[in-house]
């Protein structure tokens, strides 16, 4: 009797692949594993971001394929033969029993589906090649067994097809590239879904199958993605059909056989992929969308089956259409869920696990694919064979039980004969039934052809509509692209403007910065120069002072001698003058002294007029230089004498100075301020204002000579209110009628009171020490604009010293040289001329 359809749950197994090179290189070691195997039927997925979140799933079998040096599990590492043993062998056995079967590998891209299903040559062969090889092995074994007497002879026919579903189109992979494209799937009432015009290759050995598989794999659509160098871009299905016929002998001269047929779909699905991760574009993106769509459809079918919906959307995709028998139909189905252990794939892994867990709830209705009439005859045949066996062995009791009645041998033989007749009748009926069924089959086929025609037409219409929609979409896309381009151009232009603005601003900022830097550098350079000049001037003045001090020290006796000489000269001059006065008093204009022969009666008529200090050498030109060197120290020279006489000889290297006292800081302007805090440094008001802010300072109260206005006064005349320099005193004051005036050689500062006609001593600072008595002071407060510079520079000049008493702050004349010997000689000579 034909067996009834039995319930059979989809078996779901899970395989965890090892970490691949990329995953290891990315983290520079073994990455975090998101999977934990609890037993060979339980797996836990751990959320890498929060390890407290875990999900456990039960499955029919877990294959832990990670090597122990990556992550260990409490179950042995499963390699390709182990997977085949659990996945492939039961399928093979049920194929021989006449059941349809299906193995499909599901999982994200690069999780090891193709590796498990197809594998690679040698030990790495996957389920498909192993199953095919063992199929022929078993056929061979079965042939060997039938050689034994009394055994049933079975003939086998194996056919192989290989197809792929690429972009929702079925393609035959065994006809070569460009052939067998766009095949249709039709529903065969007996065989279930079949691909129309799919080539079926009858094979008799494993070698033949291997060649076909290799050919198919070559044609299969694969491409490199960011996640898998040989990513399968299509769902590949190897279909193996096994036709078996058990020869049951003959009844009434007619051979009775028991035909069975089984078919296995070995499916390597394309991987679900996150486009963001696989980074596919263009055609790859279209493929990815197609793949993901058909997998979503598969998910919907699974959900529909679990929920017991009356309408399961098999027709929504080519894949589900083809697998409609394998899921919820007449098929022993195994799902192999391939998983990546990397934490980075946690989301996809969880999605696969949920998918697989749902698929496990699908219940298929399986039955042996055999002819019902042949099954009935086979049952009777088996019964008869048993009876005959009982007769031969004399097992009357067994025979009675088989026939279901008591009685003697004769009765039993009669019963057997009756049964034989019954069988013959039955065979005749079966034949009748078969004929009828064939007729019905023809009618059905006709009907089916009409239906098919209608479906094809409907498909064609749908295709047209889709194409029209595609064209519409294409046009919309073009319009969008144009708009995008336009916008992009605008954005680019705006970006350029912004960039230019930024560059301009940047340039300005740079320019400002450069200017600031330049001015800072200039200030630094100026301040350095000033500092250097200041130090230089200070050093020069100090060395001058030291030299003068030495000179004075050395020349005091000489000066005393000079002074004595001068006194003697003056006395003799006085004498001569007194003589002259006497002569003049005695002079009688009415007398003709020449006629009388009186000698020496000449009266001077010319007066020497001095308008400024004269050159000590020519005594004619205004003096412009003072020699600072010993032995002519203090002598004044005009430009001509300085160049031609003074410096023409060995005095060439003598240092000279202009007749004004220079500021010790800038060296260029005349000094007006004296600072006791800086070792009596003499400064011009500008340098004082700008750089010298710390110390109290006094005015330079040196009084200029009232005759020349250039040199400091060194003399005070007691008989006329004149402050004179030594030279003017000698050359002008005494040459004048004021020869007899008494003069004091005292420091000017000690003169009192100072006349209002004197230059005003200035003190610009309120904290300046009081001016010497008799000097009028003007107080002007000026805010110091450079406090820092000033403090530093002043500090460099010299440390502040306590201010000396006011009297000593008074500047001594710039040069306190005594009239030189040469000057004395000149004066003598002049006097002599005059006298003469």
Does 232 help bind ligand ADP (rule: CB under 6 A)? yes
Distances in Å between the Cα of 492 and the Cα atoms of 415, 481, 484, 606, 664 are 101, 16, 12, 99, 66
Residue 112, annotated ligand binder?
yes
Q: Are strands 169-172 and 153-166 parallel, antiparallel or unpaired?
A: antiparallel
Nearer to ligand ADP, 338 or 374 (CB): 338
Q: Name which of 297, 248, 491, 346 is nearest 31 in CA terms.
A: 346
Nearer to ligand ADP, 113 or 654 (CB): 113
Q: Are strands 636-637 and 185-188 parallel, antiparallel or unpaired?
A: unpaired
Does 107 help bind ligand ADP (rule: CB under 6 A)? yes
Q: Binding ligand ADP by CB under 6 A: which of 110, 272, 317, 723?
A: 110
Half-sphere exposure of 101 (CA within 13 A, CB side): 26
* Smallest separation (angstroms) from ligand ADP to the CB of 14: 12
Name the residue with the smallest CB distance to ligand ADP: 112
Residue 110, annotated ligand binder?
yes
Burial letters 177-193, b for 16+ CB under 10 A, else e:
eeebeebbbbbeeeebb
Q: State the DSSP code for 820.
A: P
Q: Binding Mg ion by CB under 5 A: which of 114, 161, 317, 573?
A: 114
The whole-angstrom separation of Cα 522 and Cα 682 is: 26
The pattern of x and - marking residues 336 through 375 that bind ligand ADP according to CB under 6 A reads --x-------------------------------------
Q: Which residue has the tokens 């990329």?
A: 22
By CB under 6 A, the residues from 15 to 74 that bind ligand ADP are 17-18, 20, 65
The whole-angstrom separation of Cα 684 and Cα 675 is: 11
* Smallest separation (angstroms) from ligand ADP to the CB of 127: 12
Does 263 help bind ligand ADP (rule: CB under 6 A)? no
Nearer to ligand ADP, 113 or 695 (CB): 113
Q: Is 324 helix (H, G, I), strand (E, B) or coil?
A: coil
Region of residue 182 (phi > 0: left; psi between -120 and 50: alpha; otherwise: beta) = left
Residue 108, annotated ligand binder?
yes
Q: Name which of 319, 155, 123, 357 is nearest 234 in CA terms.
A: 319
Nearer to ligand ADP, 291 or 430 (CB): 291
Nearer to Mg ion, 113 or 555 (CB): 113
Q: Which partner from the list ligand ADP, Mg ion, none does 112 bind, CB cut-off 5 to 8 Å by kind?
A: ligand ADP
Q: Are strands 101-107 and 332-339 parallel, antiparallel or unpaired?
A: parallel
In DSSP terms, 172 is beta-bridged to 163
Q: Binding ligand ADP by CB under 6 A: which of 31, 88, 112, 180?
A: 112
* Smallest separation (angstroms) from ligand ADP to the CB of 113: 4
Q: Name which of 788, 529, 537, 792 is nearest 683 in CA terms.
A: 537
Q: Are 257 and 138 in contact (CB under 8 A)?
A: no
In DSSP terms, 744 is beta-bridged to 716
Nearer to ligand ADP, 266 or 312 (CB): 266
Q: Which partner from the list ligand ADP, Mg ion, none does 111 bind, CB cut-off 5 to 8 Å by kind?
A: ligand ADP
Residue 107, annotated ligand binder?
yes
- Token pair, residue 33, equals 């594993």
Q: Which residue has the tokens 């064979």?
A: 385
Q: State the DSSP code for 644.
A: I
Nearer to ligand ADP, 112 or 704 (CB): 112
In DSSP terms, 779 is beta-bridged to 763
By CB under 5 A, the residues from 232 to 251 that bind Mg ion are 232
Residue 543, annotated ligand binder?
no
* Smallest separation (angstroms) from ligand ADP to the CB of 161: 21
Q: Is 602 helix (H, G, I), strand (E, B) or coil?
A: coil
Q: Which partner from the list Mg ion, ligand ADP, none does 352 bind, CB cut-off 5 to 8 Å by kind?
A: none
Q: Which partner from the list ligand ADP, Mg ion, none does 115 bind, CB cut-off 5 to 8 Å by kind?
A: ligand ADP
Nearer to Mg ion, 232 or 381 (CB): 232
**Binding site per annotation, positions:** 107-114
**Binding site per annotation, positions for ATP:** 107-114
Contacting positions for Mg ion (CB under 5 A) = 113-114, 232
Contacting positions for ligand ADP (CB under 6 A) = 17-18, 20, 65, 107, 109-115, 228, 230-232, 271, 338
């Amino acid at each position: 009797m034909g067996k009834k359809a039995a319930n059979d749950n989809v078996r779901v197994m899970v395989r965890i692949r090892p970490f691949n090179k990329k995953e290891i290189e990315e983290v520079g070691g073994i990455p975090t594993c998101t999977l934990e195997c609890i037993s060979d039927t339980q797996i836990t997925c751990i959320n890498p971001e929060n390890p407290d979140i875990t999900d456990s799933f039960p499955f029919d079998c877990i294959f832990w394929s990670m090597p122990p040096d990556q992550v260990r599990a409490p179950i042995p590492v499963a390699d390709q033969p182990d997977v085949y043993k659990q996945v492939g062998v039961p399928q093979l056995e049920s194929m021989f029993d006449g059941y349809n079967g299906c193995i499909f590998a599901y999982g994200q891209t690069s999780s090891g589906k193709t590796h498990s299903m197809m594998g690679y040559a040698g030990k790495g062969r996957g389920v498909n090649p192993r199953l095919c090889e063992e199929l022929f092995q078993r056929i061979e074994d079965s042939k060997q067994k039938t050689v034994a007497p009394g055994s049933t002879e079975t003939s086998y026919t194996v056919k192989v097809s290989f197809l792929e579903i690429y972009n929702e189109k079925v393609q035959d992979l065994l006809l070569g590239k460009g052939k067998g494209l766009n095949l249709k799937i039709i529903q065969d009432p007996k065989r279930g879904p079949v691909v129309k015009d799919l080539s079926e290759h009858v094979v008799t050995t494993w070698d033949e199958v291997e060649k076909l598989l290799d050919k198919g794999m070559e044609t299969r659509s694969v491409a490199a993605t960011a996640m898998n160098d040989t990513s399968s871009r299509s769902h590949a299905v190897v279909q193996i059909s096994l036709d078996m016929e058990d020869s049951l002998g003959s009844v009434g001269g007619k051979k009775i056989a028991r035909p069975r047929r089984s078919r296995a779909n070995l499916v390597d699905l394309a991987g679900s992929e996150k486009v963001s991760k696989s980074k596919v574009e263009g055609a790859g993106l279209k493929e990815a969308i197609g793949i993901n769509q058909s997998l979503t459809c598969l998910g919907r079918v699974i959900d529909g089956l679990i929920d017991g919906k009356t309408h399961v959307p098999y027709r929504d995709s080519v894949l589900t259409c083809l697998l409609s028998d394998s899921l919820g139909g007449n098929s022993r189905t195994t799902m192999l869920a391939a998983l990546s252990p990397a934490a980075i794939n946690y989301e996809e892994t969880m999605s696969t696990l949920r998918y697989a867990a749902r698929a496990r709830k699908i219940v298929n209705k399986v039955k042996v694919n055999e002819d019902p009439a042949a099954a009935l005859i086979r049952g009777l045949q088996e019964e008869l064979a048993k009876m005959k066996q009982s007769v031969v062995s004399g097992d009357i009791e067994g025979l009675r039980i088989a026939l279901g009645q008591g009685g003697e041998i004769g009765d039993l033989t009669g019963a057997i004969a009756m049964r034989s007749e019954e069988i013959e009748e039955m065979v005749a009926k079966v034949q009748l039934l078969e004929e009828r069924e064939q007729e019905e089959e023809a009618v059905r086929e006709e009907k089916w052809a009409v239906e098919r025609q209608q479906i094809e037409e409907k498909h064609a219409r749908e295709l047209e509509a889709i194409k029209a929609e595609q064209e519409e979409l294409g046009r919309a896309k073009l319009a969008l692209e144009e708009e995008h381009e336009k916008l992009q151009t605008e954005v680019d232009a705006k970006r350029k403007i912004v960039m230019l603005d930024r560059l301009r601003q940047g340039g300005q900022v740079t320019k400002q910065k450069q200017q600031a830097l330049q001015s800072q550098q200039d200030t630094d350079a100026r301040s350095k120069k000033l500092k250097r000049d200041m130090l230089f001037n200070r050093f020069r003045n100090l060395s001058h002072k030291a030299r003068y001090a030495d000179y004075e020290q050395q020349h005091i006796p000489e000066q005393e001698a000079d002074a004595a000489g001068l006194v003697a000269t003056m006395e003799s001059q006085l004498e001569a003058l007194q003589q002259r006065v006497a002569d003049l008093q005695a002079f009688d204009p009415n007398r003709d002294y020449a006629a009388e022969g009186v000698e020496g009666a000449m009266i001077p008529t010319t007066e020497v007029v001095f308008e400024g200090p004269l050159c000590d050498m020519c005594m004619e030109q205004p003096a412009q230089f003072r020699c600072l060197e010993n032995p002519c120290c203090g002598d004044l020279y005009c430009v001509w004498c300085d160049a031609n006489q003074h410096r023409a000889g060995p005095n060439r290297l003598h240092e000279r100075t202009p007749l004004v006292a220079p500021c010790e800081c800038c060296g260029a302007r005349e000094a007006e301020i004296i600072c006791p805090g800086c070792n009596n440094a003499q400064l011009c008001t500008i340098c004082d204002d700008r750089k010298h802010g710390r110390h109290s300072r006094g005015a330079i109260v040196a009084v200029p000579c009232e005759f020349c206005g250039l040199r400091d006064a060194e003399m005070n005349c007691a008989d006329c209110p004149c402050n004179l320099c030594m030279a003017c005193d000698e050359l002008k004051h005494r040459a004048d009628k004021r020869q007899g005036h008494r003069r004091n050689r005292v420091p000017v500062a000690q003169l009192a009171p100072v006349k209002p006609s004197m230059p005003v001593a200035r003190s610009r600072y309120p904290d300046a020490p009081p001016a010497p008595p008799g000097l009028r002071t003007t107080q002007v407060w000026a805010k110091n604009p450079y406090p820092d510079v000033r403090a530093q520079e002043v500090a460099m000049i010299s440390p502040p010293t306590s201010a000396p008493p006011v009297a000593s702050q008074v500047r001594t004349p710039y040069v306190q040289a005594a009239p030189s010997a040469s000057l004395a000689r000149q004066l003598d000579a002049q006097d002599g001329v005059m006298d003469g």
